[in-house]
Chain A
C-alpha cells in the first residue's frame, strides 16, 4: 500500500482516500465537523486543517478534501494549524455560543474569543443535512441566500410537501439542532416544519414508516390486493397462507 507522512509517521492509504481518512485509519485524530464518512467531502467548516510541508502547495489545507498521495508530508499540530483552528472554532462559537459539541471542542483545542453574533439558531452551516437530504431524502432542504445571510432553508419557508420523513438530516447533524417530534401518529421535523403522517399496518397496527415513504414504495413497487397496506411481517404470513389456498379477510 502507498504511504504518506503525517506528523512524522508513515501512514498507509488506499488510492482515492483523503488525508483525513488516512489519518483516521492510522489512528491519528484530526478534528472535523462538516466531514461525514457517509457523505462526499465538502470542505466548509475548515476545522480539519493540516499544514503541508512537502509534496503539495505549502501552507494550510483542509484534510477532508485533500487527496492522500505518495510524496505528501503533513503536520496536524503546527503553530500555524493551531492558530487557525482556534480562530475558526472561535468564529463558529461566536455564531453558536451554546452549541455543546463546539464548547467541548474548544475545551480541548482552545478557541479565540470573539463578540457573539448569533446566526440562524445553533446551525453551523456544515451542510451535512443538505447533503444527506440530497443523498437519501427528497432534496427538500438546501442552502439559501449568501454570506452571513446564508442558511439551510426549505423553499419559501413553507413546510416541504415532499419531505419523506426519512430523518437523515437529524441523524447527521453534528450540533443537534434538527429536532423530530413524534405526536399522535405523525412526526414533525424542525426547523423545516415538515409534518408526516405515519403509516400503520392494517392488520397488526405496527408502524410501517412515514406515510410519504410508504406511498412512494407502493408507487414504485406496487403490492396488489389483499396484501397492500400490511407491515412486512403480516405480509409474509398472509403470503404463505395465500399460497396454501386460504382466503383471508384482513380485519
Chain B
C-alpha cells in the first residue's frame, strides 16, 4: 500500500505544503471516498471481507470512488464501520456493515443517497486539531442525526486519537493534510528548551501508568550530558482490557513518530526505538510502513528538514511478557535479556539503554506531543483538571452497551463515561463496579459513579488511572473471581526476581483459589489483607507494587461478597461453580425441556410437560440451563445456604 506522488526529500515548509496538498486531494478527492475501519478490531469483526465486497461492487457498477483502509474511529462494538464522503455532503458513518450490505450501500451511493439500514450518524465538518482549522463538508441528510450527538461521542474530545478512523494510516500525505509534521517543522526552527517549556506548561503527564510529568522527564534527559541518547516509545500495552495504544499505532502511526522526532530534537537523541508487543502484528506492520515512508521523505535520517537533526527509528517486537512494559525490564529486553526489572535509581533518563541516557514515553503521551508543540502548552492545559491536564483515552469495555475507545477531558466522571458514553450495562442488568488500571488497578463500586477520573481521585479511591482500561462489571460478575483472575495474571507475569512478588502473589492466589472453591477460612481475609499490603510495600518494581490493588480494592468495597464465599459458601453472582447449586422452581417450570437439550451433562430429569428437576450428582454447574430458561424458572443458590 505504498503511495505514489512526491518521492524527493521534504526539506522545507514549502515541501511540506506540497505533501499536505496531495494529502488533501486524497482526503477530499472530488469523488466519493469510502473508508473501511481496518484496525485489528475491525478486521476481527470481518472488515477485510467488507473491504473486498465494496471493492467488487464499485468495479461491477463502474463507480468511480476511492476506497481506503482507515484506523478505528472508536466505537468498536458496532464494527465493521464504514464511512462514506461525497463531495459537498456530510460524511456518513455506517455501522455493523455486513458483506451483503456492500451491494445496497454502493447502489445508494450511486443514487446519491444514504443507505439507511446501517447509517449511524453524519459528520458535517472536519476539525484539524493541530492547526485549529475547520473544513466544512456539507449539510447533513434530513433523516440522520449527527455523529457528535450520539451518546458515545458527545462527551468526547479527540486529541490523541484525532486522526484514528479519519485517515488512511498508510498515507503520510493524509497525515500531513491533517496538519501533521507542521509542529515538527516549527519546532525545528526554534529552540529545544522552548518546546520543553511548553510541554511543562501543558501539564502533560505520562499516559503509560505512572503519570510522571513529561516535560520534566524531557528536561532531565536533555540535561544528561552524553553524546549518545535514546528515545523509546513504549508500545508494550500489556494491560488486559486496554488497547488505546494499539489503536493509535494502527490508526495514526505518524503522530507517534512526529512526537518522537520532536523529542529527539529537544533531548539530543539520535536513536529511537518503538517497542511493540508481539500480540500486535498489525501495529508492527503499520508503524514499520510509516517509518519507511518518513525515511524516504527525509523526515527520519540525516539532517531532517535541513535542521541538522539526525534521528532514526526502528521497531523492536516484544515476545510475550507483561513486565517488559516496566521501563527497566523493557531496556533489559531490548538488550537481549529476560525482562527483569532492576532497582532505580539510576533512572533511565540518566542511565538507560546500553548505559546511555534514555527517555521512555508511552504511545499516547507521544501522540499528544505534536499538538502541544503546535498549539502551545496553555492551549492543552485548558482542558482537564488542575493536577491532570488534557484528555485521556479509555478503553470502555466489558458489560457495557457501547464499547470502544473514548477520549474525554480529565475530570470527566465515571458515570459520564460508563453510563453516558457507554450507555450503561448491556442486557438490562445493574452496574456493579468499574475496574480501572488493569491488573495494577482496582474495582470501584457503582456508588462512586460521580468520581472524576483524574490521577489523584482514582488513587484516592484505591485504584489507578493506569494506561486507561475501564472494564464495566454488572451483577453477573463475581468480585472474588475478579480478584482471583488478576492474581492469576500477576503471578503468571511476575518475573520472579523479588520475593514478595514471586512468592506473595502465588500465596495470595492459593488463598483466593481456595475461597472460590469453597475452602475459605475466616482468617483468610486478614491474611489476604496483610500479604497484599506487604507485596505492595516491599516489591522491587511497579508490577509487584501494584499487583495486589485488585485484591485490596475488592476487600475494601466488596468485603461482604468475600464473606458470603467464606461463611455461606455462596457466590452471589453464581460464577464460582463449586459454590453454586442450581435448582428449578416447579411452579414456574412449564416443562418445555429446553434446559435438558442445553445441558451438556444430561443432568436434567423429567419428561413431557412435567416440571424438570436437576440431578445434583450429574450437574457440572455450568449454568447453561440457567441462561437458556425462557421462564426464569431456574435459579441458583449457595452451597452453604439454607435450602441448598
Contact = CB atoms under 8 A, between A and B. Distances in A.
- A and B touching (C-beta < 8 Å)? yes
Interface of A: 41, 43-47, 49, 59-60, 62, 65-67, 80, 83-84, 87-88, 91-92, 94-95, 112, 114-115, 117, 124-125, 127, 143, 145-150
A43 B540 CA distance: 7
Contact of B499 (A45, A143, A145, A147): A45
Contacts of B531: 87
A104 B345 CA distance: 32
A87 B500 contact: yes
Interface residues of B, number: 30
Nearest to A41: B343
B530 interface: yes
A83 B503 contact: no
Interface in B481-529: 491-500, 502-507, 510
Given A46-B540, A60-B537, A150 B499 contact: no
A147 B489 CA distance: 11
B423 interface: no
Interface in B388-406: none
Given A43-B540, A44-B499, A65-B343, A143 B338 contact: yes
Given A115-B510, A148-B496, A46 B503 contact: no
Contacts of A127: 497
Contacts of A149: 496
B338 A62 contact: no
Contacts of B493: 146-147
B64 to A, nearest CB: 56
Interface in B330-364: 338, 340, 342-343, 345
Contacts of A49: 538
B534 A147 contact: no
Given A49-B538, A87-B500, A92-B499, 6 more contacts: A44-B540, A84-B538, A87-B534, A88-B534, A147-B496, A150-B497
B539 interface: yes
A50 B316 CA distance: 38
Given A43-B342, A117-B506, A143-B340, A60 B538 contact: yes
6 contacts: A46-B500, A46-B538, A67-B345, A88-B499, A146-B338, A146-B495
A66 B343 CA distance: 8
A152 to B, nearest CB: 11
A17 B351 CA distance: 17
A148 B502 contact: yes
Nearest to B339: A146
A247 B271 CA distance: 64
A87 B498 CA distance: 13
B33 to A, nearest CB: 48
Contacts of A45: 498-499
A65 B503 CA distance: 21
Contacts of A84: 500, 534, 537-538
Contacts of B321: 146
B495 A147 contact: yes
Contacts of B343: 41, 43, 62, 65-66
Nearest to A51: B537
A146 B494 contact: yes
A171 B39 CA distance: 56
Contacts of A91: 499-500, 503-504, 507
Nearest to B496: A150
A150 B502 contact: yes
Contacts of B538: 46, 49, 60, 84, 87-88
Contact of B503 (A60, A80, A145, A148): A148
Contacts of B496: 125, 143, 145-150
B502 A46 contact: no
Contacts of A124: 499
Contacts of A125: 496-497, 499, 502
Question: Closest 4 CB pairs between A and B?
Answer: A150-B496, A65-B343, A91-B503, A87-B534
Contact of B495 (A43, A95, A150): A150
A250 B506 CA distance: 63
A88 B538 CA distance: 8
Nearest to A40: B342
Contacts of B340: 143
A185 B493 CA distance: 45
Contact of A62 (B345, B492, B540): B540
A97 to B, nearest CB: 13
B530 A87 contact: yes
Contacts of B506: 117, 147-148
A12 B497 CA distance: 31
A47 to B, nearest CB: 8
Residue among A59, A114, A148 with the highest chain B CB neighbour number at 10 A: A148
Given A92-B503, A94-B503, A83 B510 contact: no
A13 to B, nearest CB: 15
A152 B593 CA distance: 58
Most buried by A among B493, B531, B534, B540: B534
Contacts of A112: 530
Contacts of A114: 507
Nearest to A18: B343
A88 B510 CA distance: 17
A222 B338 CA distance: 37
Contacts of A87: 500, 504, 530-531, 534, 538
A127 B338 CA distance: 14
